[in-house]
Amino acid sequence: MNTIKPVRVIAVTSGKGGVGKTNLSVNVGLALSQMGQRVVLMDADMGLANVDILLGVYPKFNLSHVLSGEKTLDEIMLDGPSGLRIIPGASGIQKMSELTTVEQASVIHAFSEIDQDIDVLIVDTAAGISASVVNFARACQEIIVVVCDEPTSLTDAYAFIKLLNRDYGLSHFHVITNMVQTVQQGHALFQKLSKVTDRYLDVTLKFAGAVPYDEYLRKSVQKQMPVVLGFPRSKSSLALKTIAARIDSWPLKSQAGGYIEFFIERMIQYGSQKDVA
């Protein structure tokens, strides 16, 4: 039997919306692709999918068609720039935002149909702490929590980390501070969150980097052109590329048969459990 290279499976979460989480997922995915990694970005926001909007691509099919059995995952996958591949979410389909854990597991199970090799799977979750977000995060190998310099962003990120730690025993999280004035401000923001988690929770937070807000980020969203492609020398682009390089250096946690299979098994295992309230 061939040894399958382990896949790095990363959940990008935020606790609250409006912190630039999806933009960050797209740009880090592209930066990793530019480094030669084979990256698949899954839009796991089952209600308001928007990865495709940021990339200016318009999918004919999405995860709802996989769930209904009409399409395979390979058939709905889109080719994005720099070799990035995208699994589109199901925007505006109410049914998709109310999946049971069993149905979520069937979506994940479709990953066994992917017949191309993957190095990195980035799972861009919805905002908030719904059952869907929690289950996707639990099934991933690494969890990145994105925060910005707003009190609600920090309190919601803390609530999300607390939930995963207290109810599911997860204890390792990476934090990216987004839309900050300077890297120093980003680090101070991380320290603020870390101080509270150190005091009240049994978790380890690791600083994965800070992305400064610049005019080019705003322009890139308007142009539907990710900043690492449209303005590769901008401050925000350079910061995103630094974060991608850091992610690439994280130790790979190998599982028998690669990580995707383990990811699927965990989701199915969670599918037999009660939904998170």
Which pLDDT value is given to residue 127?
83
For 62-102, the pLDDT digits (tens) are: 877 877 778 888 888 899 999 999 988 776 555 655 667 77
pLDDT at position 48 over 80? no
Which pLDDT value is given to residue 1?
40
Lowest mean pLDDT among 57-71, 103-117, 132-146, 163-177: 103-117
**Nearest-10 Cα torsion for 155, 137, 4, 26:** -60
Which pLDDT value is given to residue 275?
46
Cα dihedral 135, 139, 140, 145 sign: positive
d(CA 94, CA 225) in angstroms, rounded, equals: 28
Which pLDDT value is given to residue 257?
47
Which pLDDT value is given to residue 222?
86
d(CA 232, CA 213) in angstroms, rounded, equals: 14
pTM: 0.86
Which pLDDT value is given to residue 270?
62
For 242-265, the pLDDT digits (tens) are: 999 999 999 887 654 456 656 666
d(CA 115, CA 136) in angstroms, rounded, equals: 22
- Average pLDDT score over residue span 219-244: 94
Which pLDDT value is given to residue 274?
45
In the chain, % of residues over pLDDT 70: 79
**pLDDT range class, residue 187, cuts 50, 70, 90:** very high
- Average pLDDT score over residue span 205-233: 93
